[in-house]
Structure 1
Amino acid sequence: MSWLYLGIATIFEVAVGIFASKANGFTKLSWTTGTLVSGAIATFFLGLALLTFDVGVGYAIWTSVAGVGIVIVSALFLGQRLYWKQALGIAVVIGGVVGLQLSGAA
């Protein structure tokens, strides 16, 4: 169940990144509200996941996967360009997350 909680937290954290980019320095109320609500939901589910995960491992997975998700969503739907060096960085992050999982720490 903790993986499900971590997945939900990650999805909402991706939403935080996207909404915050649209909030224009928190001057647009609807995007600002979306940012805050998504952040609260992400934090709630992260807290549930951390009941099982070690905090360092759970947080590292959450932030890493969310960061990769934001880059991918931005490239696919927001017209932001993804350069090869960024793609390489994403591959390294994914490798690190897989390494954490394979270590048996989570």
Structure 2
Amino acid sequence: MHWLYLGVAVVFEIVVAIAAGKAEGFTNRKWTIVTLVSGAFGTYFLSRALLTFNVGVGYAIWTSVSGVGITVLGVLLFGQRLSWRKGLGIAAIIAGVVGLQLSGAA
């Protein structure tokens, strides 16, 4: 169940990033509310996942997978460019997350 909680937390963190970009410095009320509510739900589900994960490992996985998801969605939805350096960074993040999981720390 902890993986499900972590996955839901990742989705909410991705929503936070996208909504924060549209909140225009918290001047757009609708997107500000989406940002804050998503952040609260993401934090809640992360805290549930951290009942099983080590805090450092769970947080590292949460932020890393969210960052990769945000980058990929930026390319797919917002026309942002994926350079080879970004691709290399994503590969390094994935390798790090796999390494954390293989360490047996969850």
Q: State the match for 2:4 in structure 1.
A: 4
Q: Cα deviations across residues 5-45 of structure 1 (Å, max 9, x unaligned)?
A: 00000000000001101111111111111100100000000
Query: What's the TM-score once normalised by structure 1's chain length?
Result: 0.98
Where does 1:4-83 land on structure 2 (aligned, <5 Å)?
4-83=4-83
- Counterpart of 2:44, as a letter, is F
RMSD between aligned residues:
0.6
Q: Distance between the aligned counterparts of 2:99 and 2:85, measured in 1? A: 21
Q: Aligned with 2:104: secondary structure?
A: coil
Q: Distance between the aligned counterparts of 2:75 and 2:36, measured in 1? A: 23
Query: Which segments of structure 1 move beyond 4 Å, counting only runs of 4 or more?
Result: none
Q: Distance between the aligned counterparts of 2:2 and 2:51, measured in 1? A: 8
Percent identity between the two aligned chains: 66
Q: Aligned with 1:89: secondary structure?
A: helix
- Which ranges in structure 1 are unaligned for 5 or more consecutive residues? none
Q: Distance between the aligned counterparts of 1:37 and 1:75, measured in 2? A: 25
Query: What's the TM-score once normalised by structure 2's chain length?
Result: 0.98
